Amino acid sequence: MNATVHYMNILLLAAVPLQAQESARDWASVVGQRFRTERDVVYRTTPDGIQLKLDLYIPYDRKPGPTIVYIHGGGWQTGSKEQYVLWYLPYLQLGYRIAAVQYRLSGVAAAPAAVEDCRCAFRWIARNGEKYGIDRNRLVLTGGSAGGHLALLTAMLDESFDAGCKDDGPAPKARAVINYYGATDMAQLLGEDRPYLQRWFRGPGDAKELARRISPLTWVSAGSPPVLTLHGDADGSIPYSHATRLHEALSKAGVPNQLATISGGAHGRHTWSDTDTIRVQRAIESFLKKHGALEEAQ
């Protein structure tokens, strides 16, 4: 498969914004002219000495603008902040800055370490972002699968997981969340035969109670940010019911939200028709515009 075809397939899987459908060469040109990368910026050092880092894709002029905070997936056990770099390009094309988050995987630290890390990263971005061209009032959290779960939690949690962040200021508020097939009921998943998840919940204490505490469904409230969820109805890893239940709970709480269902879509591997692709892409752009996270970024 040639690079351009592979690139386009990844972008279709990611449901990228419609306006960003240009050639890979054009995207690369825009990114190179307008943005630079700061790699491995340390946002937290854990008590046991682990340095956790961000990759920042930011404009040369450092003018504050809206930012995508990207949290990678991988079942809480694999993945990296560099792995999904092609997902960032269309948002850069639209004028977004990108902050890609590293967090402790299950082989390094048990739950809820990854949750704490993402919260600390979010706080660091809001506190330090101005010098990088990041507007703390226009932060959009996103991620897929485990990353979707962590993005939702990062946006919805109160400060009970923030003790290790070394930040006495108020927690930032997300402008919106784009949730790609994220888990929303960890207690239900933990009750199934999922060794990778049991490994993550190996720490002391009541695993079931912890699973409930780090389930986005637990934290839905009237103050939750707007959420756009994209989920395939044939997902065999994170059941589609996680998306529908989140949609119902958010709607009941009066939180603006949308559910874009991919008919026949499996977990992160959607065979979309052209109609599906355009519909989902337009849903993302419309959602971001509606909630004030896109119009000034174009």
Domain ranges within the chain, ordered by starting residue: 3-297
pLDDT of res. 295: 59
- CATH superfamily, domain at 3-297: Alpha/Beta hydrolase fold, catalytic domain (3.40.50.1820)
| pLDDT at position 27 | 54
- Per-residue pLDDT, 144: 94
Q: Is the pLDDT of residue 55 over 80?
A: yes
Section 104-125 average pLDDT? 97
DSSP letter string, the chain: --HHHHHHHHHHHTT--GGG-S-HHHHHHHHHHHEEEEEEEEEEE-TTS-EEEEEEEEETT---EEEEEEE--STTTS--TTTTHHHHHHHHHTT-EEEEEP---TTT--TTHHHHHHHHHHHHHHHHGGGGTEEEEEEEEEEETHHHHHHHHHHH--GGG-GGG---SPPP--SEEEEES----HHHHHTSS-HHHHHHT-SSS-HHHHHHHT-GGGG--TTPPPEEEEEETT-SSS-HHHHHHHHHHHHHTT--EEEEEETT--SS-----HHHHHHHHHHHHHHHHHTTSSGGG-
| 166-175 pLDDT per residue, tens | 777 788 999 9
pLDDT of residue 270: 58
Chain segment 258-274, per-residue pLDDT in tens: 999 988 888 976 555 66
Question: Over the stretch 119-162, which tens digit does the pLDDT of each residue have?
Answer: 999 999 999 999 999 999 999 999 999 999 999 999 999 999 99
Mean pLDDT for the stretch of residues 216-233: 97
User: What mean pLDDT, rounded, does the chain reach?
Assistant: 87
The whole-model pTM stands at 0.89
Per-residue confidence (pLDDT) for residue 132, from 0 to 100: 94
User: Quick check: 79 pLDDT over 70?
Assistant: yes
Going by pLDDT thresholds of 50, 70 and 90, the confidence category of residue 104 is very high
pLDDT at 5: 31
